[in-house]
A and B are shown apart, each in its own frame.
Chain A
């Protein structure tokens, strides 16, 4: 089963009919609410790191007053959405891949087909919708948490002037930037979900437990790499 084949069928299943509300909701809550704590923790530290590291770099060149610019651009445009994608690739993607792979090796997916239920429509489509819907929200949330963390680190810990920092933030961050971050979230979400479902779906029955491990591992790695590369391409198109 090739990836192209899988994507084509998944797209057909995804857009032919909207998934049942409770299925969608269950997966959306699972992906979204389940990731919030992890995301908050990670983005908070990433935001603080950004400020501390930026400060360290600027101090050498004598330009620490540009820290606001640095955090605004580096954080909102790049780091926070990408971090959100990595975190979700690791958590949501791995969960999707592991659950589908487990269903595949315990013959549950075959059982569905035998019962005349299209697994693409029943299993894959609701998950795709759920993650596509959740990821942009998580990205927007990541922007808020990350910027607060950078602000906290810069102003409280490093003693950068509060007025300068926030003035620079306001100056450099436009609504378009936030929109781009959220838009990246949609793309990342769909990719994380489709890659994870593909690897989970492809697990071979004979492999048993090993198949679940392989699917999980591949889902995490492929979705991370794809999101980072896609981020670069999107940034190059939008900002260069």
Chain B
């Protein structure tokens, strides 16, 4: 089990973000404990992906602070050279699993997974190859190194992307809709994978999802984002016990409740 670390991995403090008149995040504050699995639920188009992108500085919030191990990402402006360097350094603590994998088309699977190691470490080619094989084994895809991303199925692509995200064994792994576009068995496999990696490598996971089964299975902290507001947030057991109406609506797949889409 991971040793107890008291400093939180992520702290959001009053984060807001709007695109034009559309408020995507509205005064969101939360804390993610180091070594936990946080699942953020919410209907599509409610700013979950925006939240994720704010964490790594791909987007800057209009207001509020985004602390990553105590450092404010929101204060860093990518267009200023010094901030840019700081931001890129900070991002090395993250691994990110993109929704469609975002594998590089012009590299084979092995090179995709090796890419972060080639960029950021001085490992020899043999060591890198061994690590790539290890990461691919962890996601259950041994021996696919020489395949092109386009030859893989959606589920395999995602798992390769997962291997790439954990290549440098980052502190925090961000997963953007890991189960979207996958069949239930493959989704369950990915969930198992997250749990397995969490247990063996002790990483912090932040998972964006609209899959309630996934949330139940892996989350130790759970949040619900609706219309840009953090409706509920807390330890999974408490949140489920509390029976918050929006959350209940989400779990019951009901059109009746506080969340309105039509």
Contacts and interface: CB of A to CB of B under 8 A. Distances in A.
Asked if A and B form a direct contact in the complex, defined as CB atoms under 8 angstroms apart, the reply is yes
A210 B103 CA distance: 13
B150 interface: yes
B218 to A, nearest CB: 30
Interface residues of A, number: 3
Contacts of A207: 150
A181 to B, nearest CB: 43
Contacts of A206: 150
- The contact size tier of chain B is under 10
B105 interface: yes
B150 to A, nearest CB: 6
A204 to B, nearest CB: 10
Nearest to A209: B105
Contacts of B150: 206-207
A207 B151 CA distance: 11
Interface in A195-212: 206-207, 210
A119 B105 CA distance: 30
A145 to B, nearest CB: 41
B20 to A, nearest CB: 25
Interface in B70-114: 105
A206 B153 CA distance: 11
Interface in B232-260: none
Contacts of B105: 210
A206 B151 CA distance: 10
Interface in B127-176: 150
Nearest to B105: A210
A210 B100 CA distance: 14
Nearest to A207: B150
A207 B150 CA distance: 8
A207 B106 CA distance: 12
B100 to A, nearest CB: 9
A233 B37 CA distance: 69
Nearest to B106: A210
Interface of B: 105, 150
3 contacts: A206-B150, A207-B150, A210-B105
Q: Which 3 A-B pairs have the closest CB atoms?
A: A210-B105, A206-B150, A207-B150
